[in-house]
C-alpha cells in the first residue's frame, strides 16, 4: 500500500494541534472558567499554543530516531498534568500547585471521595495521545523523517515566542498586573494557560524557598509599624472575663452561615445552633479566609492570626517555622493544650505542625475506636467523635484549651439513613441536596455534646467557640444553590457565601448577634483578650471582635475585600446593599491595605520571620 507522506515538520505540528485542541476542550468542559468577552475567549483558546510549540520544538534538536519518543513522552506527561488538574478541580474547584502535589498522604486518604471523582469515561482525556501513538507507531506512518537546519529552528522558535508574547500582551490588556497579583489561580489559567501556569508555579516555589534563606529580621520593623497602626483596644467590659476558664474550640466542617436560621422543606437545618446563638455572641458577618489548605488553613488562621498562603497549605509548606500560636501562649500560662480529630494524624501534616503550634497532645485516629457501624464517609461520625472525646476531656487537667474538629459534614456529604432526621433538598444536584442532611446531623451532634458538657460539670467553666472552617458548597453547584437561595449566584453572591458562623459562648453572658464584618483572623486576639491576655506588640493581623473601635473590613485569601458598604471581588467593586457594581474608587482605599496585609503575612511565613521575634510579644511571656 502506498501512503502519501505528510510534509516535513508535520510531526511537531500534529502533536501540538492534538494537545492544543484537547486542552481547550478540557478548559471548556472540565473547568468553570468564566469568559466575559471575545478577547478573553481568544486568550483562552491560544494560551496553550506557545508553550506546546516550545516544548515539542525541543525535538528539533534531537536526532531523527529520538524525535518520536520525545514527542510521545512529553505529550503523555503534559496530558497527565492536565488530567491531574481536572481531578483536583473536581474536588477542590481549584488548580494544582506543587506544594499540594507533595501532600500525597492527603491524596491517599481521599478514599471514598476518590471513587466519586474518577469515572471510566476519563480515558477520553487521553484520546489525543492514543491518536498520536497510532500515527507514530501504527502501520500508517505518514511522517517524513526530518532533521531541522539551524535557520529553520530559529524561525520556529521566533514564531513560538511571538505567539507567546501576543498572548501575554492580550492578557496584560485584559488583566493588568496579572503576574504580580497572583491570588487567583483561575485568572492565571485563563490568561496564560494551564501549562504556563504550572511552570509559573515552579518559579513561585523556588522563590519561596529562596526567601527563607535570604531573610533577616529587618523586615519586621516595617511589619510591626503596620500592625501597631491597626491595633484596636480591647473592650474593657469583657477583657479578662474568661480568665482561667477552659476553652473548647469546635471546628465545624464545611459549615456555611447561610444554613443558620434557615429551613429546608419547612424544617430547621440547625435547630440547636439557632437556639444556642440566642445565649451566645453570634457573628453573622464572619468570613472564612482559607486557601488551598482548607481545614488546616482555618486552624492556622484562627490560632496565629496570620493569613494562610495563596498556594499550598502552610501546614505542609512551613511546618518547621517558629510561630506564636494560641496553644503555645496558653500552654506557657499553665493550660493543658490538645487537639482532637478522628482522622490520620498525618492528614494535613497535623502531627508535625501541631508541635510548632504548641499542642501537648493530639488525639487522632489511633485514640478513637472506629468501626463500620460508627463511621460514614470520611470516618468516625460526629456523634461518636464527641462521645469518645468526652472521656478524654473529663480526664484531662484543667484549665485546658482543646480544639475539636468535626468531619461528617464533609463532601460528598454521605450519611446513613438512620442518622438522617430531615428529608433532603429536592434539586438536580445531589451534593447540595445531601449537604443539608449532614449539616443537620452535625447540629444534633453538637447539641448532644453540649448536654454532655453540662452533665459532666464542664459547661459552666468553659468558653465554647464554634466556627465554620470553610465553604462546603463550591461554585460548581451554583445552579442548585441559586434555586435554594432564590437568587442568581453572581461573583458578589459567591463572595457573600464565604460567610461561616462564629459563635462564642461565655458562661453567664447573655446572647447577642454582632454584625461587624470580620474574619477568622480576628479570633486569636478576641480570645486572648477574653482571657485577660494583652496582645499589643503581637504580630497578628486580626483585631478584637469586641473592641469598640470601628472595624468592618476583612480580606479573603483570594484578595476579595468586604467592608460595611462595599464588596470587592474578581476585580469588581460592588455596593453591598444592592449587589450592583459600584465605582472602583469606593473600594480603592481598602485595596492597598488588603494587599499590604496579605504581603506582610506572606513575608512572615516565607521568611520564617517570627524566629527573629523571640520573646518580643507580651502574651507569649511565661508568667511563672
Ligand atoms: C481532614 C479534615 C477535612 O482531616 O480536616 O479536611 P478538608 O478536606 O476539609 O480540608
Ligand atoms: Mn474542612
Q: Which ligand is nearest to the CA of 313?
A: 1
pLDDT at 601: 97
Contact 214, 367 (CB under 8 A): no
In short, whether 288's Cβ falls inside 6 Å of ligand 1 is no
3 state SS of 69: helix
Average pLDDT over residues 416-441: 97
> Global pTM?
0.84
| Residue among 295, 317, 406, 526 flagged as catalytic | 295
Nearest CA, atom 7, ligand 1: 295
Q: Does the pLDDT of residue 181 top 70, yes or no? A: no
pLDDT in tens, 434-493: 999 999 999 999 999 999 999 999 999 999 999 999 999 999 899 999 999 999 999 999
Q: How far is the CA of 227 from the centre of ligand 1 (A)?
A: 31
Instruction: Give the confidence band of 119 by pLDDT, cuts at 50, 70, 90.
Output: confident
CA distances, 352 to each of 253, 324, 360, 362, 437 (Å): 21, 15, 12, 10, 34
Q: Does residue 581 have a cis bond before it (omega within 30 degrees)?
A: no
Does residue 182 carry a pLDDT above 60?
no
Q: In this predicted structure, what is the pLDDT of residue 7?
A: 76
Q: What is the pLDDT of residue 623?
A: 44
Classified as helix, coil or strand, 363 is: strand
* Residue 294 in grid coordinates: 482548607
Identify the pLDDT of residue 106: 62
- The region of weakest confidence among 104-113, 299-308, 487-496 is 104-113
106 within ligand 1 shell (Cβ under 6 A):
no
For residue 144, indicate whether it is catalytic.
no
User: What average pLDDT does the chain have?
Assistant: 92
Q: Which of 48-62, 97-111, 291-305, 424-438 has the lowest mean pLDDT?
A: 97-111
Ramachandran class of 266: left when φ > 0, alpha when ψ lies in -120 to 50, beta otherwise: left
3-state percent helix, strand, coil for the chain, nearest multiple of 5:
50, 10, 35
What is the rounded CA–CA span in Å between residue 527 and residue 242?
9
Higher pLDDT, 177 or 533: 533
Contacts of 190 (CB under 8 A, 6+ apart): 33, 34, 35, 40, 43, 44, 47
Could you read off the pLDDT of 509-539 as tens digits, one per residue? 999 999 999 999 999 999 999 999 999 999 9
pLDDT at 158 over 80: yes
pLDDT at 1 over 60: no
Ligand 1 atom at minimum distance from 254 CA: 9
- Which of the four pLDDT bands, split at 50, 70 and 90, describes residue 183? low
For the residues 32-39, what does the mean pLDDT come to?
88
pLDDT of residue 98: 76
Name the closest ligand to CA 344.
1
- Neighbour tally for 566: CB within 10 Å: 20
Q: Which atom of ligand 1 lies closest to the CA of 350?
A: 4
Reduce the DSSP state of residue 291 to 3 states and report it.
coil
Best-predicted range by mean pLDDT (64-68, 309-313, 475-479): 475-479
Residues 147 and 550: their CA atoms lie apart, in Å, by 70
Looking at the predicted structure, is the pLDDT value of residue 415 above 60? yes
For residue 624, the model assigns a pLDDT of: 35
Q: Predicted confidence band at 103 (pLDDT cuts at 50, 70, 90)? A: low
CA distance to 114, 152, 392, per residue, from 169 (Å): 39, 26, 60
Residue of 111, 301, 347, 408 to mutate, ligand 1, most atoms within 8 A of C-beta: 347
Name the nearest CA neighbour of 575 among 586, 566, 588, 584: 566
Q: Domains in the chain, please, with CATH? A: 10-211 (no CATH), 219-621 (3.40.720.10)
For residue 121, is pLDDT > 80? yes
pLDDT band per the 50, 70, 90 thresholds, residue 622: very low
pLDDT in tens, 278-304: 999 999 999 999 998 999 999 999 999
- Confidence at residue 591, expressed as pLDDT on a 0 to 100 scale: 92
Mean pLDDT of 350-368: 95
Distance 256 CA to ligand 2 centre (A): 11
**For residue 278, what pLDDT is reported?**
97
What is the H or E stretch that residue 264 is in? strand 263-264
Give residue 409's Cα distance to chain centre.
17
Residues with CB under 5 A from ligand 2 (ion): 253, 294-295, 469
Q: Which ligand is nearest to the CA of 288?
A: 2
Amino acid at each position: 500500500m502506498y501512503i502519501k507522506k505528510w510534509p516535513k515538520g508535520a510531526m511537531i505540528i500534529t502533536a501540538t494541534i492534538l494537545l492544543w485542541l484537547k486542552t481547550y476542550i478540557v478548559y471548556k468542559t472540565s473547568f468553570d472558567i468564566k469568559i466575559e468577552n471575545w478577547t478573553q475567549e481568544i486568550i483562552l483558546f491560544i494560551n496553550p499554543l506557545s508553550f506546546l510549540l516550545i516544548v515539542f520544538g525541543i525535538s528539533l534538536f534531537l536526532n531523527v530516531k529520538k524525535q518520536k519518543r520525545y514527542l510521545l513522552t512529553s505529550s503523555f506527561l503534559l496530558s497527565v498534568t492536565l488530567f491531574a488538574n481536572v481531578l483536583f478541580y473536581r474536588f477542590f474547584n481549584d488548580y494544582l500547585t506543587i506544594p499540594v502535589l507533595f501532600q500525597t498522604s492527603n491524596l491517599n486518604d481521599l478514599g471514598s471521595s476518590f471513587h466519586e471523582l474518577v469515572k471510566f469515561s476519563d480515558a477520553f482525556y487521553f484520546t489525543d495521545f492514543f491518536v498520536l501513538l497510532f500515527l507514530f507507531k501504527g502501520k500508517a506512518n505518514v511522517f517524513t523523517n526530518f532533521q531541522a537546519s539551524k535557520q529553520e529552528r530559529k524561525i520556529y522558535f521566533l514564531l513560538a515566542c511571538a505567539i507567546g508574547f501576543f498572548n501575554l500582551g492580550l492578557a496584560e490588556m485584559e488583566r493588568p498586573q496579572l503576574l504580580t497579583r497572583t491570588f487567583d489561580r483561575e485568572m492565571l489559567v485563563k490568561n496564560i494557560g494551564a501549562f504556563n501556569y504550572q511552570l509559573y508555579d515552579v518559579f513561585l516555589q523556588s522563590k519561596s524557598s529562596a526567601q527563607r534563606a535570604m531573610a533577616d529580621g529587618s523586615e519586621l520593623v516595617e511589619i510591626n509599624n503596620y500592625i501597631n497602626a491597626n491595633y484596636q483596644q480591647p473592650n474593657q467590659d469583657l477583657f479578662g472575663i474568661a480568665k482561667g476558664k477552659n476553652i473548647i474550640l469546635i471546628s465545624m466542617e464545611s459549615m456555611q452561615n447561610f444554613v443558620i436560621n434557615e429551613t429546608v422543606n419547612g424544617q430547621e437545618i440547625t435547630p440547636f445552633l439557632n437556639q444556642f446563638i440566642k445565649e451566645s455572641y453570634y457573628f453573622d458577618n464572619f468570613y472564612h479566609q482559607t486557601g488551598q489548605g482548607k481545614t488546616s488553613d482555618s486552624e492556622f488562621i484562627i490560632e496565629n492570626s496570620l493569613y494562610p498562603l495563596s498556594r499550598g497549605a502552610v501546614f505542609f509548606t512551613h511546618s518547621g517555622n517558629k510561630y506564636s500560636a494560641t496553644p503555645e501562649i496558653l500552654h506557657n500560662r499553665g493550660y493543658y493544650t490538645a487537639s482532637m480529630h478522628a482522622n490520620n494524624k498525618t492528614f494535613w501534616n497535623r502531627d508535625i505542625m501541631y508541635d510548632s503550634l504548641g499542642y501537648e497532645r493530639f488525639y487522632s485516629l489511633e485514640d478513637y475506636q472506629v468501626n463500620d457501624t460508627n463511621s460514614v464517609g470520611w470516618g468516625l461520625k460526629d456523634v461518636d467523635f464527641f462521645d469518645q472525646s468526652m472521656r478524654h476531656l473529663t480526664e484531662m487537667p484543667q484549665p485546658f484549651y482543646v480544639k475539636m474538629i468535626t468531619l461528617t459534614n464533609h463532601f460528598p456529604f454521605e450519611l446513613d439513613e438512620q442518622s438522617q432526621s430531615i428529608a433532603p433538598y429536592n434539586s438536580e444536584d445531589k451534593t447540595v441536596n445531601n449537604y443539608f442532611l449532614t449539616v443537620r446531623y452535625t447540629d444534633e451532634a453538637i447539641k448532644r455534646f453540649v448536654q454532655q458538657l453540662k452533665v459532666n460539670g464542664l459547661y459552666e467553666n468553659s468558653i465554647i467557640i464554634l466556627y465554620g472552617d470553610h465553604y462546603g458548597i463550591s461554585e460548581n453547584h451554583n445552579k442548585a444553590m441559586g434555586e435554594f437561595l432564590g437568587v442568581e449566584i453572581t461573583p458578589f453572591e459567591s463572595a457573600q457565601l464565604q460567610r461561616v458562623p462564629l459563635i462564642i459562648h461565655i458562661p453567664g453572658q447573655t446572647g447577642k448577634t454582632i454584625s461587624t464584618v470580620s474574619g477568622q483572623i480576628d479570633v486569636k486576639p478576641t480570645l486572648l483578650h477574653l482571657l485577660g491576655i494583652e496582645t499589643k506588640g503581637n504580630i497578628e493581623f486580626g483585631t478584637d471582635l469586641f473592641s469598640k473601635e470601628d472595624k468592618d473590613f476583612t480580606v479573603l485569601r483570594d484578595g476579595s475585600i468586604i467592608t460595611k458598604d462595599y464588596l470587592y471581588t474578581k476585580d469588581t467593586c460592588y455596593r453591598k446593599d444592592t449587589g450592583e457594581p459600584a465605582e472602583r474608587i469606593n473600594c480603592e482605599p481598602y485595596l492597598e491595605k488588603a494587599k499590604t496585609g496579605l504581603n506582610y503575612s506572606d513575608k512572615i511565613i516565607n521568611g520564617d520571620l517570627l524566629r527573629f521575634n523571640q520573646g518580643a510579644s507580651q502574651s507569649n511571656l511565661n508568667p511563672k
